[in-house]
Each structure stands twice: as structure tokens, then as C-alpha cells.
Amino acid sequence: MSTLLQAALTSALPSLRHQPTGKRIRAVLAGRTVVDSTRALQVWEPRRVVGVWAVPQSDIDADLTPADDNPSGDPAAGQAMPEISERPVLDPSIPFEVHTAEGSAVNLTVGDDSLPGRGFRPADPDLHGYVLLDFAAFDEWWEEDVRNVGHPRDPFHRIDVLPSSRTVCVARDGEVLAESSRPMLLFETMLPTRFYLPKDDVRAELTPTTTTSTCAYKGHASYYAVSVGGKAVPDLAWTYLDPLPEAAAVTGLVCFFDERVDLTLDGVPVTRPVTPWSRR
């Protein structure tokens, strides 16, 4: 019997996972290189869909002390992604301090800067001597000499951007917001297909908001409020004005949250996906 590959990949989601990398990994805080390692691992705690960097303690130029408290993981924490897991998954919106593996939290002190609870020593013997590090606690991360933004780049994750002649129609509350027969389709591992449309094919009024987000594979996104029925729906669409090279083909195009609009593809309704963005 054939195995659905995605099911095989996600079957390990409830467990602690790690993967070595051949990359030199560095982290910078206040202009000082605090982490410099050629022995890094990428580590995923149970139910985490995005990994963190872990390095041997000897590769960290900081003082490590036990944290005052060791918060245990909340079994109910996480976001619904039913296509991936029956249980809630811990996406990047769930802070580093929520741990689902056995271990102990540690504070990092760099000069006069204290990073409480920003490290974690897992109890697993295969990870003995390694410290998991909070990506958000540092000013910069580097993979070799390339800046790493958002979070570590998963070696099993990729994006493909393909031009299409299929007709995409985006509506909400019965009002057509955009329609295009020249979309760019962005396929990303474990995520729904995203439809990026030329701005000229968007009928609704778009108003830039102050919201931004960062993707390790696409770069920094800017958001739009979209006028629906004369009212602005905040952050319903986004664009990448200066994306990373892998996503260059979507530069300046507009994408709507499939989770919050009614989308048809060649006249066929597309079911709204359930993702961590469904409730945001």
C-alpha cells in the first residue's frame, strides 16, 4: 500500500526531532558575535513546525545560568492545522518559552544584557551538551555569510513560484475584490497554495497598514486593509516589495488570505483552508 508522503513526514511531529547542518551559524547581539558554530543542529520540539538553532554550549560566548522558573508546555497550546496534525501545532506565534520537551530553561548573560529564559537544555541524551536558542532574542542570525531572517530555514521546506493562466476570483460577502487570469501561484511546503495577483487586477481599494511580517523564505511582507462594502477590513491582503531571491517573481503582487475570502479557481470554489492565520 502506498504511503502518503506528507503523512510520513508529519508522523514524527509529536516527537523531539533534530537535523545536523554543515552551515556555519552565527548570532549577533548588540554588535557582538555571541554564537559562532560549525556544529549546529536544527531542533524541533514536539508539535513545533518551525525549528530553532541549537549549538554546543562551548560555542556560546555568554554566561548561562538556570532560569528561575521552568514553565511546562501547555498540551492545549498551539494553532489548528488539521491537514498536518489532529492536535494543535506550535507555529512561530507560540513563544520560545513554551516548551514541549523535557529539559531546563537557562538565562543568557552577555555583558550587561540578560536574556532570561532564552535558552533551553533538552534532557534528551542525543542532544547532550547542546543549548536551544531563541531566534528572536538576538539582533542578527547568519548562515555562512547570508543573513537569516524570521527563523531558521528548514532543510525540508521549499517554495516554488509558477506563472499560471488559470482564472482566480477573490470575493468576500458577495463582493468581487479581484479577478485575474495571470496569477503567480506560490507553492510552499505544508501550506496552502497562495495566489499572487497583479495590482491592476484588484478591484477593491487597498490601503497600506503598519503591519509587517517576516518569512525566512520570502522576506518582509507589508499589509493592506481592503475595502469591502465600504468598510476597511484590516490586513486582509499583503505584498512583498523587496522579497528574497526565491520569491522574486511575486514582487509587488497582491495576495489575499484564502482563510478569510471566498476564492474560485476557473470557476470552481476553493475551500477555505484552516491555518494559524484563520483567526487573525
In terms of domains, do 181 and 258 share one?
A: yes
Question: How far apart are alpha carbons 197 and 246 in whole angstroms?
Answer: 17
pLDDT band for 88, please (50, 70, 90 cuts): confident
pLDDT (0 to 100) of residue 4: 84
How many independent structural domains does the chain possess?
Answer: 2
Mean pLDDT within 233-246: 97
Mean pLDDT within 147-174: 96
Enclosing H/E stretch for 6: helix 5-10
pLDDT at 172 over 90: yes
In terms of domains, do 99 and 190 share one?
A: no
pLDDT at 69 over 80: no
Cβ-contact 210, 199 below 8 angstroms: no
In a domain, 277, yes or no: no
**pTM to 2 decimal places:** 0.88
In a domain, 231, yes or no: yes
In terms of domains, do 114 and 190 share one?
A: no
In a domain, 279, yes or no: no
pLDDT (0 to 100) of residue 90: 85
pLDDT (0 to 100) of residue 188: 95
In terms of domains, do 138 and 21 share one?
A: yes
CA distances from 101 to 48, 119, 128, 158 (A): 10, 13, 13, 26
Domain end call among 148, 173, 193 = 148
pLDDT (0 to 100) of residue 128: 97
Question: How far apart are alpha carbons 192 and 233 in whole angstroms?
Answer: 22
In terms of domains, do 30 and 138 share one?
A: yes
In terms of domains, do 109 and 56 share one?
A: yes
In a domain, 113, yes or no: yes
In terms of domains, do 46 and 74 share one?
A: yes
Mean pLDDT within 93-115: 89
3-state secondary structure of 17: strand
Average pLDDT, the chain: 92
pLDDT band for 75, please (50, 70, 90 cuts): low
Q: Is 145 exposed, middle or buried (0-12, 13-18, 19+ CB in 10 A)?
A: exposed
Give residue for cell 530555514: 153
pLDDT at 138 over 90: yes
The CATH number given to whatever domain includes residue 213 is: 2.170.150.40
In single-letter form, the type of residue at position 104 comes to S
Question: How far apart are alpha carbons 212 and 112 in whole angstroms?
Answer: 30
pLDDT (0 to 100) of residue 71: 55
In single-letter form, the type of residue at position 52 comes to V
In single-letter form, the type of residue at position 112 comes to D
Domain end call among 99, 127, 148 = 148
Question: How far apart are alpha carbons 52 and 245 in whole angstroms?
Answer: 23
In a domain, 153, yes or no: no
pLDDT band for 11, please (50, 70, 90 cuts): confident
pLDDT (0 to 100) of residue 13: 87
In terms of domains, do 136 and 163 share one?
A: no
pLDDT at 41 over 70: yes
Question: How far apart are alpha carbons 242 and 262 in whole angstroms?
Answer: 28
In terms of domains, do 143 and 169 share one?
A: no
Domain end call among 148, 168, 201 = 148
Closest by CA to 240, choosing from 225, 227, 232, 250, is: 250
In terms of domains, do 165 and 218 share one?
A: yes
pLDDT band for 250, please (50, 70, 90 cuts): very high
In a domain, 276, yes or no: no
In a domain, 275, yes or no: no
pLDDT (0 to 100) of residue 245: 95
In a domain, 53, yes or no: yes
Q: Which three cell numbers, joined as nine digits, stand for 39?
A: 556544529
In terms of domains, do 12 and 123 share one?
A: yes
Weakest mean pLDDT among 86-100, 177-191, 221-235: 86-100
pLDDT (0 to 100) of residue 7: 81
Residue 176: which domain range?
159-270
In terms of domains, do 28 and 112 share one?
A: yes
pLDDT (0 to 100) of residue 238: 98
